[in-house]
Amino acid sequence: MTVTEERTPLEGQQHHAENAGRVGAGVFSPRQLWTSLPGALRKLNPKHQLKNPVMFVVWAGSALTTVFAITDPSVFTILIAIWLWFTVLFANLAEAVAEGRGKAQAESLRKSKKETVARRLTEDGSEERVPGVDLRIGDLVVVEAGEVIPGDGDVVEGIATVDESAITGESAPVIRESGGDRSAVTGGTTVLSDRVVVKITTKPGESFVDRMIALVEGASRQKTPNEIALTILLATLTIIFLLAVVALQPMASYSGSEQSVVVLTALLVCLIPTTIGALLSAIGIAGMDRLVQRNVLATSGRAVEAAGDVSTLLLDKTGTITFGNRKATELIPVGESTQDDLARAARLSSLADGTPEGRSIVELIAREHGLPGQADENEKLAEFVPFTAQTRMSGIDVGGRQVRKGATAAVRQWVRERGGDMPDETERVVDAISQQGGTPLVVAETDGGRANVCGVIRLSDVVKPGMKERFAELRTMGIKTVMITGDNPLTAKAIAEDAGVDDYLAEAKPEDKMALIKKEQEGGRLVAMTGDGTNDAPALAQSDVGVAMNTGTSAAKEAGNMVDLDSDPTKLIEIVEIGKQLLITRGALTTFSVANDLAKYFAILPAMFTGIFAQLGALNIMHLATPKSAILSAVIFNALIIVALIPLALRGVRYRPSSASELLRRNLLVYGLGGIVSPFLGIWLIDLLVRLIPGIG
């Protein structure tokens, strides 16, 4: 019994959207701001603020201005203090909303965790019932139909269908069996049929579900190298502006225009990159969240970031680039046989063939020749000959008639044993199909006399729709694609050309994959690959982004730094796009943050010194009413822009495959220019309202 499902890229996207909807993540709603407010208030704790140098300076400035608002109250001082606190609160809100988006998914996962009683096997083969939390690595447990698997592990005995909907959101059951690459099972999933023995591979509290809950809640998220580097840069800029503001007071005193601590604090907060400082953490959390929405568990933020910088993708041919099962695509008669003769013989030989290839032959003949897709009553009484590794043929014996289909050499021998011979035309057709990357199946029959070759069935590895276009997009992004296959070089070359990949590795063995990864990495490239078997583990560990299939072995999942719950190898392309979107979003908002400081200079600096240097009035291009309204308007805008950018930080900047130069040009045009223009407009509009406040205007 086999349970499989094939999806087109569009259906796959719909499936991911359904999963995202299932847990309530994905789409930003203003209601999330309100529900996340308690979490944002808790983050006002100075211990939490210390983790973000930029926002800690704002927090300290808020506390300082609050002291002045209490000891020497004025409308201006009180409003500045309030809006500085709002700035800190809104920064916390961005992080709280990002973390809150994972709460629903974490709750859904917690519901899948069930306290189970495990049937553990003892050394003498008997069973003992123990709580699931008491299981240890290496324990063997028995799970039968209707029972919940008590912990993560590998099936070491038996085969069963398993319901993984609580983890993956996919309602269709899956097959798990011992001795293959589909042996891994997840604690909390349910066995639907048969009996299996599972070897536990994780400790209690460290299961796959436990790790995923910690991930989606943000508890285990580590800052990535680029994020750390940007944090250091922002901290450095903050120190520079702090020194500049401190040095400004002696100059102001000398000029006879000494500034208050409140004004200097407002200036400092507006000068330092508060916007990106407030949103940086939210951007990282949201990037992880976008992966989780697509049922991918990343064990580190470094892997997500590395995905954005990947320059080489290693893709397995079977199941990734092609559908995995060769399909019948053409019937080629030889000798005196006609298309109809070959169709009837091929249908008979395939009626009992339960393989995907056999079913595809019957479907092709039913579709193109109108013959029944099911055996009639007489055909059901026939003797079916199944395919075996020894005979390399399958077929049917009905009455005195025998029909066979199979490998060329096997059918040639069968024909010769029955007094026939294989025409030279057959050999030419077989060679042509092989050179074009297909698989030839020769069909022959005998009706009590000499055996006769009817023709050849072409089996083709069908490339998934849209793959060529996706590889073209990757090429535009500067990413090299390499197809890995165990096929011979001729077949590999034909499929590579059809799929549009840049290179291929034929007759690949595990050590060949490892050598290829190391070779690419020596050139300074980051490499990503997928795998599911134990023999893929070394290559997954060596690659910069190793995506293990959830259906694979525990060894593969431990070696990789991402696990795809849907076990869809093509998702590697989506993971790269998500990584690039994360980097682009961070870069875009950093550009915007730095650019919008320019307008604040034009608002605050003239307001501070226009009384001494009248010429600075020319810089008041926004025509702000008074120095106090100008400073207060800049502080208010500085706070509100954080809230306005939260949806963009969580959703991410829309990613379009393009070159680095095009991305930079778009970044500067949209977010650089936008970062300059929007504050001028925003501060001017706020000033129109602020000037109406008594004591300000």
387 belongs to an annotated ligand binding site:
yes
**Cα–Cα distance between 521 and 515 in angstroms, integer?**
10
**Cα–Cα distance between 601 and 620 in angstroms, integer?**
10
**Cα–Cα distance between 507 and 125 in angstroms, integer?**
43
Among 154, 210, 316, 566, the active-site one is 316
Angle at CA of residue 493, ends 491 and 497, nearest 5°:
120
Query: Considering all CA atoms of the chain, what is the largest pairwise distance in Å, rounded to the nearest integer?
Result: 119
**Cα–Cα distance between 631 and 527 in angstroms, integer?**
50
The single residue listed with the structure tokens 């059901």 is 380
353 belongs to an annotated ligand binding site:
yes
Q: 156: helix, coil or strand?
A: strand
Q: Is 207 exposed, middle or buried (0-12, 13-18, 19+ CB in 10 A)?
A: buried
388 belongs to an annotated ligand binding site:
yes
Amino acid identity of residue 204, one-letter, is P
The single residue listed with the structure tokens 């793959």 is 467
The single residue listed with the structure tokens 């990503």 is 528
691 belongs to an annotated ligand binding site:
no
562 belongs to an annotated ligand binding site:
no
59: Cα within 13 Å, side-chain hemisphere: 21
Which two three-digit tokens encode residue 47?
């211990």
532 belongs to an annotated ligand binding site:
yes
Q: Is 496 exposed, middle or buried (0-12, 13-18, 19+ CB in 10 A)?
A: buried
Q: Is 578 exposed, middle or buried (0-12, 13-18, 19+ CB in 10 A)?
A: buried
Helix, strand and coil content of the chain, in percent to the nearest 5, comes to 55, 15, 30
Helices (H), 36-142: 37-42, 46-49, 53-71, 75-100, 103-112
Which two three-digit tokens encode residue 65?
């201005």
63 belongs to an annotated ligand binding site:
no
User: Could you tell me if 103 and 91 are in contact, meaning their C-beta atoms sit under 8 angstroms apart?
Assistant: no
119: Cα within 13 Å, side-chain hemisphere: 13
391 belongs to an annotated ligand binding site:
yes
**Cα–Cα distance between 122 and 140 in angstroms, integer?**
8
**Cα–Cα distance between 547 and 556 in angstroms, integer?**
9
User: Could you tell me if 289 and 25 are in contact, meaning their C-beta atoms sit under 8 angstroms apart?
Assistant: yes
Is 512 labeled as catalytic in the residue annotation? Answer: no
State how far the alpha carbon of 641 is from the alpha carbons of 507, 589, 664, 675, in Å. 56, 11, 23, 10
Buried b or exposed e, range 610-641, using 16+ CB within 10 angstroms? beeeeeeeebbebebbbbbbbbbbbbbbbbbb
Q: Closest Cα to residue 69, out of 56, 84, 48, 53?
A: 84
Q: How far is CA 501 from the centre of its chain?
A: 21
State how far the alpha carbon of 177 is from the alpha carbons of 1, 195, 356, in Å. 11, 10, 19
Q: Is 392 exposed, middle or buried (0-12, 13-18, 19+ CB in 10 A)?
A: middle
161 belongs to an annotated ligand binding site:
no
State how far the alpha carbon of 159 is from the alpha carbons of 120, 144, 440, 540, 596, in Å. 18, 10, 32, 26, 61
405 belongs to an annotated ligand binding site:
yes
**Cα–Cα distance between 2 and 17 in angstroms, integer?**
26
Whats the size of the chain, residue-wise? 697
Q: Which residues contribute to the annotated binding site? A: 353, 357, 387-394, 405, 532, 536
Show which residues are catalytic: 316
Query: Residues marked as binding for Mg(2+)?
Result: 532, 536
